């Protein structure tokens, strides 16, 4: 579960890239939202939250640092993730703000660990990336 234990895998929006399908897959693997390069996946290169002028222009690292937090874009993304995947980016950001990034990452390691094999549970597929065990969908 090493991939989830990196602060660089937490995107500005609060997404833990270490539990994302694009990061976990073997072919055309995404390096995470904070990594840069010419081979960036199109979804990441065009992400409106990642390219937000309030974050980029002010040198902010996370959306909660913005005076507009939570903005309409983040609320829309959060609603979709709460409904489809049982995860809240706004809640993630509030936890980072309250407890710090290192505590958040440590908690994520436990939260997204497969109880069967210790592998990483994929937020999008609701299954363990290592053993394939399907997990119960979380709801808010």
CB 48 within 8 A of CB 73: yes
- pLDDT at residue 46, as a whole number: 62
Q: Name the pLDDT band for 135 (thresholds 50, 70, 90).
A: confident
- pLDDT at residue 136, as a whole number: 72
What gap in Å lies between CA 32 and CA 12, rounded to an integer?
A: 11
What gap in Å lies between CA 140 and CA 131, rounded to an integer?
A: 26
- pLDDT at residue 64, as a whole number: 94
- Per-residue pLDDT tens over the stretch 26-59: 888 888 887 765 555 555 556 777 777 777 667 7
Helix (H) or strand (E) holding 121: strand 121-122
Q: Name the pLDDT band for 1 (thresholds 50, 70, 90).
A: very low
- pLDDT at residue 101, as a whole number: 95
Backbone torsions φ then ψ of 134, nearest 5 degrees: -80, 135
- pLDDT at residue 40, as a whole number: 54
Residues of the chain with pLDDT > 70, as a percent, come to 84
For strand 121-122 and strand 127-128, is the pairing parallel, antiparallel, or unpaired? Answer: antiparallel
Domain-wise residue ranges, the chain: 2-128
- Per-residue pLDDT tens over the stretch 113-124: 999 999 999 999
Q: How many CB atoms lie within 10 A of CB 93?
A: 25
pTM above 0.75, yes or no: yes
Q: Residue 50 corresponds to which tokens in the numbers above? A: 């990642």
What's the mean per-residue pLDDT of the chain? 84
User: DSSP letter string over 5-52?
Assistant: S-GGGB-TTS-BGGGSHHHH-STT----TT--STT--HHHHT-TTTT-
Return the closest-CA partner of residue 32 out of 13, 51, 46, 16: 16
Q: Residue 110 corresponds to which tokens in the numbers above? A: 């436990």
- pLDDT at residue 36, as a whole number: 64
Question: Span 81-94, mean pLDDT?
Answer: 95
């Amino acid at each position: 579960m090493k991939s989830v234990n990196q602060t660089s895998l937490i995107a500005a929006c609060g997404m833990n890239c270490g539990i994302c399908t694009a990061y976990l897959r073997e072919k055309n693997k995404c390096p995470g939202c904070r990594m840069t390069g010419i081979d960036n996946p199109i979804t990441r290169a065009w992400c409106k939250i990642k390219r937000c002028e309030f974050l980029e222009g002010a040198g902010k690292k996370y959306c909660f640092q913005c005076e507009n937090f939570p903005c309409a874009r983040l609320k829309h993304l959060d609603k979709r993730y709460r409904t489809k995947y049982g995860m809240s980016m706004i809640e993630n950001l509030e936890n980072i703000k309250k407890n710090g990034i290192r505590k958040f990452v440590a908690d994520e390691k436990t939260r997204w660990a497969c109880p069967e094999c210790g592998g990483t549970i994929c937020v999008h597929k609701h299954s363990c990336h290592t053993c394939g065990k399907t997990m119960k969908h979380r709801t808010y």
